[in-house]
Amino acid sequence: MKALVFTGKEKIEYKEYDSPVKKNGESIIKVSASGICGSDMHAYHGKDNRRVPPLILGHEISGVIHEGKDIGNKVIVNPLISCGDCEFCNNNLEHLCGDRALIGMNKPFVREGGLAEYVSVPDKNINKLPNNLDIFKAAISEPAAVSLHAVELGEKNLKTTIDKAKTLIIGGGAIGILCALILEKIKKNNFTSLIEINENRLKVCQNSLNSNVTKPNSSSLKQSSFDFIIDAVGSTNTRNTAINFAKPGSTIVHAGLTQGNGDFDFRKTTLQEITFIGTYCYTFNDFSKTIQLLDNNLLGELEWIEFRELKNGSEAFKQIHDGTCAAPKIILLPK
């Protein structure tokens, strides 16, 4: 089969690769669409020890069952693989499983990803595509589930109701814009601001959201004034931005993985009783709920997604790396 293969730091090649072989309890999916995630970019930059070349990346997948149970069914893949029988899995907290892994990783075990014509998926991770959901847009389900989980995790800790919380989202990538859409359309919040430094992406977000979309240095933003902050980037700079804008008693949800360490104002966090919550994934229930939101078109038309052919994926990675890509999400389509 043809696949987009991560072969080394900042190297992605479209090439022939071994097709997946059917295993017990799994099905082979003919991929219709597969998104490029921020974590795929971390691998591309050589900063993810869970993704070691050579490897097919990609875990945001929709497609058609080619081999296995229910051949011909259109499906959405939940790429989160857990043990299914630990204290977390038994309490619907699969994202905290100690043996958690994702499709498109080869640590702790090899699981080739979806930036290819075919991918093997455990049957328990396959969700049937609803009738009203476009199979290509359905690949956004995974980052939408991440975003829903982040919003609702923070919501539990707010000192005010989610609809009234003055909210700041840092970063206009897929997670940032999806968090904003969830706040606007599902949580009915009219007090959301989103900040982005990339001029091209800033314009896309401004055209796609009703929220205040601006640069970090905008005069419309006041320090120590936000109830709820979502850092969808996860760098030293964005963490410092988050704590600067956080008011006493506020909640910061950290949903980005750009840098794993760096300086942070723990003094303000402590003195002003600011809650800092890390989040990486979602539960199976979050994923199912997200599919229903998308099926009912509750997050809008998603016109900010850019679709490209899989064979041109290497250029897409390069443009994301260079900051010349305006789209918050690129989804690749095998032909």
> Would you list the domain boundaries of the chain?
2-129+304-333, 144-278
Mean predicted confidence (pLDDT) in 170-196: 98
Per-residue pLDDT of 124-142, as tens digits, reads 999 999 999 999 999 999 9
> Which option is the CATH number for 144-278: 2.60.40.1730, 3.40.50.720, 2.40.70.10, 3.30.420.40?
3.40.50.720
* 188, 211, 247 from 167: Cα distances, Å: 12, 10, 11
Pairing state of beta strands 126-128 and 74-77?
antiparallel
Name the residue type at position 9.
K
Per-residue pLDDT of 30-67, as tens digits, reads 999 999 999 999 999 999 899 999 999 999 999 999 99
Task: Using alpha carbons, select from 60, 71, 82, 324 the residue that is nearest to residue 174.
Answer: 60
The pTM of this model reads 0.97
For residue 245, is pLDDT > 90? Answer: yes
Q: What are the two backbone dihedrals, phi and then psi, of residue 148, each rounded to the nearest 5 degrees?
A: -60, -45
Q: Is 329 left (phi over 0), alpha (psi -120 to 50) or beta?
A: beta
| Residue indicated by tokens 């990339």 | 198
Per-residue pLDDT of 280-307, as tens digits, reads 999 999 999 999 999 999 999 999 999 9
**Per-residue model confidence (pLDDT) at position 291:** 98
Q: Characterize 75-92 residue by residue with b for buried, 16 or more Cβ atoms within 10 angstroms of its Cβ, and e for exposed.
A: bbbbbbbbeeebebbeee
How much is the mean pLDDT over the chain?
96
For residue 259, is pLDDT > 90? Answer: no
Per-residue pLDDT of 108-117, as tens digits, reads 888 999 999 9
CATH of domain 2-129+304-333: 3.90.180.10
CB-based contacts of 45, cutoff 8 Å, min separation 6: 9, 10, 321
Spatial contact of 171 and 238, defined as CB atoms under 8 Å apart = yes
Q: What are the two backbone dihedrals, phi and then psi, of residue 217, each rounded to the nearest 5 degrees?
A: -95, 15
Pairing state of beta strands 26-35 and 329-333?
antiparallel
**Per-residue model confidence (pLDDT) at position 305:** 98
**Per-residue model confidence (pLDDT) at position 18:** 94
**Per-residue model confidence (pLDDT) at position 144:** 98
- Residues facing 105 on adjacent strands: 111
Name the DSSP letter for residue 182.
I
CA distance 216 to 325: 20
**Per-residue model confidence (pLDDT) at position 203:** 97
Q: How confident is the model at residue 335 (pLDDT cuts 50, 70, 90)?
A: confident
Spatial contact of 51 and 4, defined as CB atoms under 8 Å apart = no
Q: How confident is the model at residue 160 (pLDDT cuts 50, 70, 90)?
A: very high
Mean predicted confidence (pLDDT) in 161-167: 98
Task: Using alpha carbons, select from 73, 78, 68, 76 the residue that is nearest to residue 25.
Answer: 68
**Per-residue model confidence (pLDDT) at position 260:** 86
